[in-house]
Amino acid sequence: MTTTPSAKSILSLKLLIDTKRKKVLFAEASKDVVDFLFTLLQLPLATVVKLLTKEDVIGCLGNLYSSVENLNNAYMQPNLSKDLLLNPTILATTPFISGLLPSAAENSEQITPKLYKCSSSNSNCNTLSDVYNSVCGTCKYHRMTREMRYIKGEATAATAPATSSDSNNSNKGFVKELVTYMIMDDLVIQPMSTISSVTMLNQFNVKNVGVLKESVVQLGMNEGLKILKTCMEEYDMVLTSVFLDS
């Protein structure tokens, strides 16, 4: 059974390397590795900038991040916080990725939303809004200025009885744990089979299998960050850049 990565866990994947061209042809990977790679699609740009540090981010994204950091709060709209831009919320469906990306990615989904209620004492005004000082949607007159306490709810046995599928770790993440997955050097991912492997060897025009070598590599926090950075810079040689060129 696949285990959810912990802070000290390290995943592994098996690379098929063309030693003549010094290139990764493809990798065999588990569900956890694929879940991690798919998680990168859910990371907000600001989180990516923070993870890679502003100096290492390509283009001008680092400058944008610094601009928000340095901007005096007096210039922000009164109902908005800079955290909205600097620490954006990750969708709740994001798998637990501790051990593969630093805490900046984990903490960004821990932001508690602020909710506001109508300033009127009228009990019929029961509308809530996440925009401070907006017009009440019920009375259409008073402003939403009374901050409400937000408590994140969790399902209990009484409201959501646990089932065997709920407790089964293989049901977490994005993909099923039915097969081994093939990850190409450019991060194209598909279920792996004997036919797909042979097809890929023909596609790469491999005539002499003697130049091929299998290598099991580890995927930890350093490699996770390198993949994140490299996939923003490289188009077709991400695995080669991370595992062979480093």
Instruction: Please check whether residue 236 lies inside any domain of the structure.
Output: yes
> Does residue 188 sit in the same domain as residue 239?
yes
Among 37-41, 50-54, 100-104, 129-133, which stretch is predicted with the lowest mean pLDDT? 100-104
Tell me what pLDDT residue 166 has.
Answer: 43
Instruction: Please check whether residue 44 lies inside any domain of the structure.
Output: no
pLDDT of 178 > 90? The answer is: no
pLDDT of 222 > 60? The answer is: yes
Instruction: Please check whether residue 162 lies inside any domain of the structure.
Output: no
Tell me what pLDDT residue 42 has.
Answer: 83
CA pseudo-torsion sign 64, 68, 69, 70: positive
Mean pLDDT of the chain: 79
Instruction: Please check whether residue 43 lies inside any domain of the structure.
Output: no
Write out the DSSP string of 166-183. Answer: HH-GGGSSSS-SSS-EEE
pLDDT of 59 > 80? The answer is: no
Instruction: Please check whether residue 28 lies inside any domain of the structure.
Output: yes
Quickly state the pLDDT bin for 164 (edges 50, 70, 90): very low
pLDDT of 28 > 60? The answer is: yes
CA 91 remoteness from chain centre: 9
Average pLDDT rounded to a whole number, residues 22-51: 90
Instruction: Please check whether residue 61 lies inside any domain of the structure.
Output: no
Instruction: Please check whether residue 93 lies inside any domain of the structure.
Output: no
Quickly state the pLDDT bin for 103 (edges 50, 70, 90): low
> Does residue 185 sit in the same domain as residue 235?
yes
Domain that holds residue 212: 1-33+178-246
DSSP letter at 165? Answer: H
Tell me what pLDDT residue 246 has.
Answer: 64
β-strand pairing of 143-148 with 134-135: antiparallel
> Does residue 135 sit in the same domain as residue 191?
no
Domain end among 148, 164, 193: 148
pLDDT of 100 > 60? The answer is: yes
Give percent of the chain above pLDDT 70. 77
3-state secondary structure of 25: strand
Tell me what pLDDT residue 155 has.
Answer: 41
Number of domains in the chain: 2
The whole-angstrom separation of Cα 116 and Cα 131 is: 7
Tell me what pLDDT residue 61 has.
Answer: 81
Among 40-44, 56-60, 148-152, which stretch is predicted with the lowest mean pLDDT? 148-152
> Does residue 182 sit in the same domain as residue 220?
yes
Instruction: Please check whether residue 173 lies inside any domain of the structure.
Output: no
